[in-house]
């Protein structure tokens, strides 16, 4: 059963991708462009956004694109970016929040500065943008809010001492958001990828199971939005395994981690 309104046609929809300069966000920009959507591309680096914009327009000459650089951790920059988007487009059909930072952290190298940076970007960033956009979505009485979390948010994992909790909180946030906004005609999606080959996962010094490309991730996200899924998780053979782990008794859970996770 679809918890959200399925999207049968992306053509002409205004899609704002925050975190479009690389990885999953960049791949999603190409996917939505090919689906006929109008694009608003955001990230901190305007040069990377312009490169992406030029690449898309080379393949789709008449593609409608607006590039807006801002830092999701900065309240004024975030508010100004929203004003620019609404001034040009008037309506946002899909907000896809991809921006995130990842630094492997274990207890013996626990760094509060790194912690604050990840919380500011991975949790406060999407919360800030949803808060700023809420009046517009309520005015529209429609739209899709899609937040990129991670399977690392399902349960505590090695080297995910900080990253995992930010994604667990984002999952909880999306669940509450869905409950409140569904009766108002606004759709909420939480996207939980496994390992995706991106600049962020390049920090990992271990073998990543079920690793997929950013392009594959974009296809999965598009398919989940088409179906109206609340939780879009992939690749299934890995995400379902982690879902299974979270329901086990803790003695079994920690034994399995120690036995099979060689990190």
Interval 159-173 mean pLDDT: 97
Residue 263 predicted with pLDDT over 70: no
Residue 247 predicted with pLDDT over 80: yes
| Among 231, 193, 246, 235, CA closest to 210 | 235
The string of DSSP letters for 125-193 reads HHHHHHHHHHHHHHHHT--EEEEE--GGGSS--TTBTTHHHHHHHHHHHHHHHHHHHGGGT-EEEEEEE
Give the Cα separation of 156 and 98 in Å (integer).
Answer: 21
Give the Cα separation of 162 and 150 in Å (integer).
Answer: 13
Residue with tokens 């060689």: 262
Fold adopted by 14-260: Rossmann fold (3.40.50)
Interval 216-233 mean pLDDT: 98
Q: At what angle do helices 125-140 and 163-181 cross, to 10 degrees?
A: 10
pLDDT tens-digit profile of 66-91?
999 999 999 999 999 999 999 999 99
Residue 20 predicted with pLDDT over 90: yes
Q: Residue 221 is encoded by which pair of tokens?
A: 């996200």
| Confidence category of residue 205, pLDDT binned at 50, 70, 90 | confident
- For 15, the 3-state DSSP assignment is strand
| Among 133, 146, 40, CA closest to 97 | 146
Give the DSSP letter of residue 19.
S
Residue 257 predicted with pLDDT over 90: no
* CB-based burial label for 142 (10 Å; 0-12, 13-18, 19+): middle
Helix or strand run (H / E) with residue 213: strand 212-213
Helix or strand run (H / E) with residue 61: none
pLDDT tens-digit profile of 108-138?
999 999 999 999 999 999 999 999 999 999 9
Structure confidence at residue 102 (pLDDT): 92
Distances (CA, A) of 48 to 45, 124, 147, 223: 6, 23, 22, 26
Residue 256 predicted with pLDDT over 80: yes
Which of 18-27, 201-210, 236-245, 252-261 has the lowest average pLDDT? 201-210
């Amino acid at each position: 059963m679809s918890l959200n309104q399925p999207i049968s046609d992306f053509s002409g929809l205004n899609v704002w991708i925050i975190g479009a300069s690389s990885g999953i966000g960049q791949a999603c920009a190409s996917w939505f462009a090919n689906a006929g959507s109008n694009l608003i591309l955001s990230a901190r680096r305007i040069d990377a956004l312009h490169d992406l914009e030029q690449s898309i327009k080379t393949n789709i000459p008449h593609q409608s694109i607006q590039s807006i650089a801002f830092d999701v951790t900065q309240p004024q920059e975030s508010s100004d970016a929203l004003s620019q988007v609404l001034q040009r487009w008037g309506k946002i059909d899909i907000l896809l929040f991809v921006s995130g930072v990842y630094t492997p952290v274990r207890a013996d190298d626990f760094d509060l500065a790194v912690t604050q940076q990840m919380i500011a970007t991975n949790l406060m960033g999407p919360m800030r943008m949803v808060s700023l956009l809420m009046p517009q979505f309520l005015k529209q009485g429609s739209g899709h809010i899609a937040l990129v979390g991670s399977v690392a948010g399902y349960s505590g994992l090695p080297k995910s001492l900080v990253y995992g909790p930010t994604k667990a909180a984002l999952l909880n946030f999306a669940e509450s958001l869905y409950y409140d906004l569904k009766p108002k005609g606004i759709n909420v999606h939480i996207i939980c990828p496994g390992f995706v080959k991106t600049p962020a996962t390049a920090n990992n010094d271990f073998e990543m199971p079920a690793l997929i490309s950013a392009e594959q991730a974009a296809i999965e996200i598009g398919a989940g939005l088409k179906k109206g899924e609340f939780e879009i998780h992939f690749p299934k053979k890995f995400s379902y395994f982690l879902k299974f782990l979270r329901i086990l008794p803790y003695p079994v859970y920690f034994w399995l981690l120690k036995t099979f996770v060689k990190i």
